[in-house]
Structure 1
Amino acid sequence: MSKKIPVKNVTPGDAQAVELYAKREKIHPRSYTGLFHKIRLLGVGFLFLLYFGTAWLQWGDRQAVLFDLPARQFHVFSATFQPEDFFLLSFLLIICAFGLFFITVFAGRVWCGYTCPQTVWTWIFMWAEKVTEGERNARIKLDKAPMDANKLARRSAKHSIWLVVSLVTALTFVGYFTPIRQLVPDTFTLDIDGWTLFWVFFFTMATYINAGWMREQVCFYMCPYGRFQSVMFDKDTLIIAYDPRRGEARGARKKGVDPAEEGLGDCIDCTMCVQVCPTGIDIRDGLQYECIGCAACVDACDDIMDKMDYPRGLISYTTEHNLSGEKTHMLRPRLLGYGALLVIMMGLFAATVTSLSKVSLDVARDRNVLFREANGGNIENVYIIRIFNKSQEPRSFMLSVEGHPELRMNLQADRLSLDANEHLQLPVNVQLDPQFMSSTNMPVEFRITAVDDPDITAEAESRFMGPRLR
């Protein structure tokens, strides 16, 4: 007799198919005012002035901030960086990462709510939506209305503003790589090369799609920061939270009614905190990864509390310890550790930048010949010397070679004169009597020094090759 494993059907009788992907519900944030809204406006104004204004600044006869990729020169006001200085960018990105870690541990996602480009441009696009289509209820009604002349006109005006903002954003960004004072007129006269046109179009569409159409979806599904923020948080991190001890139980009531007599908390369940949220969440459900820390719900709730003559702060910047009635510890090991590392790295970065030489020197051996015998029996090596004057003024330099006192360098001029930001490449012959060669491969060092300032100097090492010793 065979034994069978008994099988029991546990499928619910009323089981229904569940879709893996929920349809996106369009969010129509409501307008609001308040303290944090004003702070955001000031911050956005400063960032816009910095982003759009810096591209138009001049420094002498060139753009103040210009990343000239064809010339492989990166100008930042008085400083000019070369590809060999690229490590500074990596250093700067590491500093920014630790700065973000520090801010996140201390104050949660304030970067997302106030300064993230996705958030800032989304607010600008929502403002254009409000101007052209009306307030929240009017936009919801317009979405449901059939397409007619009024809807077409409003939608066309909205998308026109979106495209103009996107184009200006793209031109400014590309203007940091191509001189913007030439780029703008060339764009509108269509006197622009193919690659520049491609990147202007690319960044225009990227801004238009991300800030206009995707919006919160970028934060939910494309940005990794919202996903790993919980690793950075602790119970002393500032977060935006609803106080359930004070707010529950929720319920509507008339102004002047004592909520305690009705068995209610301070939350009147007006849902204003939900209506103003750009990501469409209900902050009363607790801390959620979709929350970007913009404090829109704080301003909206405080306004309702003022109208009801209740104390502000039902929704506020607080900590989990504070919500549970415990003491918040602002200075804690993780925060102090990030802060100390940030200060150290910023100091090292500043010291590295200030110590960069204003001249660079590169030496390469002539690959056509290893060495040759010159007149008089001397051994001669040929080098290709590349000099770059990184300062903003013309300078004369002296070139020398070290490695043996009897080394002789054949250079047409004792002084090398270079204009500001000028490259110079030239061959240099170096000779040595074979009797002074200790090996077939000797180290030598080339040094270049500014005539007017001995502190402006650079060195480069190479090898002096000779015949096999007898």
Structure 2
Amino acid sequence: MSSQIPVREIDPATDDASNKKKKAGNVDHYANRKKIYTRSVKGFFQRIRFVSLWALMGMYFLFCWIQVGGEPIIHFDLPAREFHLFGTTFFPKDFILLSGMLIIAAFGLFFITTLFGRIWCGYTCPQTVWTFIFMWVEEKIEGSRNKRIKLDKAPNSASKSVKKASKHAVWLLIAFATGLTFVGYFYPVRELLADLFTLQANGWAYFWVGFFTVATYTNAGWLREQVCLYMCPYARFQSVMYDEDTRVVAYDYNRGEPRGGRKKSADPAELGLGDCIDCGQCVQVCPTGIDIRDGLQYECIGCALCIDACDQVMERMNYPTGLIRYVTENELEGKPSKFLRPRTFGYGAALVAMIAAIAITLVMRVPVELDVLRDRGQLYQMNGRGMLENSYTLKVQNMTEVPQTFRISVSGPESTQLITRDEIQLDPGANRTLPTVVEISPESLTQSRTDIRFRIESQGQPPLSAETESRFIGPSR
């Protein structure tokens, strides 16, 4: 028996709703938003979400406070153009690494989507995480689903005002903590907190804290599912990554239909009914307000709330669980399902290749930079000892977290040597420009342009080194 969704044909000539619209002379193309009141539910997948939610929130709110050696482990210092991540400093020239990491994140998302649908949205998306926190606060203050519905319908009163004001106050507090933490990754959070409340912070700090406070409060408190339905592009293009073997949240139509109410002791087969008792629990717990029994919809974020709700009902009815479950289309139709297939191999191979490329780049990255610019104002000059001289400008950058002392050397034809200082000290993240002069005996030159190499090497542990090539100009031969 194939898995199909029942449809009801509507005759415009006889349908009451259609006739009413026709008489009114217009058709509603846009419906006003209907507030969604979600019912609380517990279960296996909600325990998974609880762990992922608090793990992610813990990392977000704590990482900006953790310091190693007096420096935050994550700090994006935009004025200095330095980005400190877990003891490693990156600079604008390392943006290729950022691009690679974004590509890894994209292919990782595609790979997971082909296997498990929108599992990212259901368990780790920031919009989902903060929305669930705001919904939890709302339930703790205003009560269960039925109590919230009654509260909104009730006339204004002191009790209602206190509950509403308390809810929004807690929402704003969470939103402010979110904005403060976000800015704290760019402006050391300990300094930021002190400067904000002593009015010593700059205007941009106040602006961005305020901006992210308002954005969090609006998105998680008011818009909620509207962000997922109308603002998130992922909901729109996810279908191109789905196939018959993608494991998604789905209702088993073959087992559940025809649906209908019955007593717990009744035999559904004798009543000609399926296992679905049409209780509506799956709809009441859905944060986007859809009915999963209508089939796969782009609004579904894969949160599995409907699975846990339905399993509880099935257990109370002494029916097998899994009427709503993570399942593939082929499995619903009784066909074999493949976990790995060409699409997943393609995304997986691209993901592994990008991870390997970034890992190799990070391993081979030397946290010191040397640039050499030859003085173009004068080709060469002869000094008092009969040696040819060329002038250069060396730019040395220390990209480590500790002070470094570098020794400078030059190699080339016999008699090549520096006649200026050969040592330079740099603070962490500092760079310095150093005028340098190189001399070579005229007898050592066989042509007018000769390759030479500059090298710097640190005296600390582990030793760091970098070298670059330049040209030495002499008389024409």
Match of 1:449 among 438, 457, 474: 457
For 2:341, give the aligned amino acid: R
Per the alignment, do residues 234 and 357 of structure 1 end up closer, same or farther by CA in structure 2, a change over 3 Å counting? Answer: same
1:393-447 CA-to-partner distances (Å, cap 9, x unmatched) read 33322212345445443322x3223344333332223345677667766554322
Q: Which residue in the other structure is 2:100 paired with? A: 91
Contact 1:371 1:379 in 2 (8 A): no
Per the alignment, do residues 28 and 380 of structure 1 end up closer, same or farther by CA in structure 2, a change over 3 Å counting? Answer: farther
Return the alpha-carbon distance in structure 1 between the equivalents of residues 46 and 217 of structure 2. 24
Per the alignment, do residues 434 and 196 of structure 1 end up closer, same or farther by CA in structure 2, a change over 3 Å counting? Answer: farther
1:196 aligns with 2:202: no
Return the alpha-carbon distance in structure 1 between the equivalents of residues 152 and 378 of structure 2. 77
Question: Once the 2 structures are TM-superposed, how far is the Cα of residue 50 of structure 1 from its aligned partner?
Answer: 1.4
For 2:132, give the aligned amino acid: W
1:91-144 CA-to-partner distances (Å, cap 9, x unmatched) read 111111111111101111100000000000000111111122222122222223
Matched residues, number: 457
Return the alpha-carbon distance in structure 2 between the equivalents of residues 20 and 337 of structure 1. 41
Return the alpha-carbon distance in structure 1 between the equivalents of residues 177 and 448 of structure 2. 62
1:266 aligns with 2:260: no
Q: Which residue in the other structure is 1:5 paired with? A: none
Per the alignment, do residues 381 and 222 of structure 1 end up closer, same or farther by CA in structure 2, a change over 3 Å counting? Answer: farther
Contact 2:411 2:417 in 1 (8 A): no
Q: Which residue in the other structure is 2:29 paired with? A: 20
1:104 aligns with 2:113: yes
Per the alignment, do residues 366 and 22 of structure 1 end up closer, same or farther by CA in structure 2, a change over 3 Å counting? Answer: farther
Contact 1:370 1:465 in 2 (8 A): no
Return the alpha-carbon distance in structure 2 between the equivalents of residues 438 and 237 of structure 1. 69
Q: Which residue in the other structure is 2:356 paired with? A: 347
Q: Which residue in the other structure is 1:325 paired with? A: 334
1:312-361 CA-to-partner distances (Å, cap 9, x unmatched) read 00100100000001111112122123223322322222221121113222
1:56 aligns with 2:65: yes
Q: Which residue in the other structure is 2:435 paired with? A: 427
Match of 2:410 among 401, 409, 414: 401
For 2:267, give the aligned amino acid: D
Q: Which residue in the other structure is 1:390 paired with? A: 399
Return the alpha-carbon distance in structure 2 between the equivalents of residues 382 and 205 of structure 1. 57
Question: Once the 2 structures are TM-superposed, how far is the Cα of residue 49 of structure 1 from its aligned partner?
Answer: 1.6
Match of 1:250 among 256, 259, 268: 259
1:16-43 CA-to-partner distances (Å, cap 9, x unmatched) read 4123322111111111111101110011
1:365-406 CA-to-partner distances (Å, cap 9, x unmatched) read 457x35463534766444332222223333322212345445
Report SS of the residue matched to 1:146: coil
For 1:422, give the aligned amino acid: A
Return the alpha-carbon distance in structure 2 between the equivalents of residues 156 and 464 of structure 1. 76
For 2:180, give the aligned amino acid: L
Q: Which residue in the other structure is 2:165 paired with? A: 156
Return the alpha-carbon distance in structure 2 between the equivalents of residues 71 and 432 of structure 1. 39
1:40-67 CA-to-partner distances (Å, cap 9, x unmatched) read 0011111112111211111112111111
Return the alpha-carbon distance in structure 2 between the equivalents of residues 16 and 364 of structure 1. 77
For 1:235, give the aligned amino acid: E
Return the alpha-carbon distance in structure 2 between the equivalents of residues 115 and 336 of structure 1. 24
Contact 2:44 2:308 in 1 (8 A): yes
1:138 aligns with 2:173: no
Contact 1:243 1:323 in 2 (8 A): yes
Per the alignment, do residues 435 and 219 of structure 1 end up closer, same or farther by CA in structure 2, a change over 3 Å counting? Answer: farther
Structure 1 alignment gaps of length 5 or more: 1-11
For 2:183, give the aligned amino acid: V
Return the alpha-carbon distance in structure 2 between the equivalents of residues 421 and 189 of structure 1. 30
Return the alpha-carbon distance in structure 2 between the equivalents of residues 465 and 21 of structure 1. 75
Question: Once the 2 structures are TM-superposed, how far is the Cα of residue 258 of structure 1 from its aligned partner?
Answer: 0.7
Return the alpha-carbon distance in structure 2 between the equivalents of residues 149 and 384 of structure 1. 75
Q: Which residue in the other structure is 2:3 paired with? A: none
Q: CA RMSD in A?
A: 2.4
Pairwise mapping of residues 207-222 of structure 1 onto structure 2 (< 5 A)? 207-222=216-231
Report SS of the residue matched to 1:396: strand
Return the alpha-carbon distance in structure 1 between the equivalents of residues 318 and 462 of structure 2. 73
1:282-314 CA-to-partner distances (Å, cap 9, x unmatched) read 000000000000000001101111111111001
Return the alpha-carbon distance in structure 1 between the equivalents of residues 462 and 51 of structure 2. 47
Q: Which residue in the other structure is 1:307 paired with? A: 316
- Of stretches 31-40 and 446-455 in structure 1, the one that deviates more from structure 2 is 446-455
Return the alpha-carbon distance in structure 2 between the equivalents of residues 212 and 362 of structure 1. 52
Return the alpha-carbon distance in structure 1 between the equivalents of residues 307 and 275 of structure 2. 14
Q: Which residue in the other structure is 2:13 paired with? A: none
What percent of counterpart residues are identical?
Answer: 54
Per the alignment, do residues 401 and 128 of structure 1 end up closer, same or farther by CA in structure 2, a change over 3 Å counting? Answer: same
- Of stretches 125-134 and 236-245 in structure 1, the one that deviates more from structure 2 is 125-134
Structure 2 alignment gaps of length 5 or more: 1-18
Return the alpha-carbon distance in structure 1 between the equivalents of residues 446 and 173 of structure 2. 71
Return the alpha-carbon distance in structure 1 between the equivalents of residues 154 and 378 of structure 2. 81
Contact 1:63 1:179 in 2 (8 A): yes
Match of 1:460 among 450, 453, 468: 468
Return the alpha-carbon distance in structure 1 between the equivalents of residues 431 and 157 of structure 2. 63
Return the alpha-carbon distance in structure 1 between the equivalents of residues 390 and 37 of structure 2. 74
Match of 2:131 among 122, 132, 141: 122
Q: Which residue in the other structure is 2:383 paired with? A: 375
Question: Once the 2 structures are TM-superposed, how far is the Cα of residue 186 of structure 1 from its aligned partner?
Answer: 1.9
Q: Normalising by the residue count of structure 1, what TM-score does the alignment of the two structures yield?
A: 0.90
Per the alignment, do residues 404 and 198 of structure 1 end up closer, same or farther by CA in structure 2, a change over 3 Å counting? Answer: farther
Report SS of the residue matched to 2:271: coil
Match of 2:192 among 165, 183, 201: 183
Q: Normalising by the residue count of structure 2, what TM-score does the alignment of the two structures yield?
A: 0.89
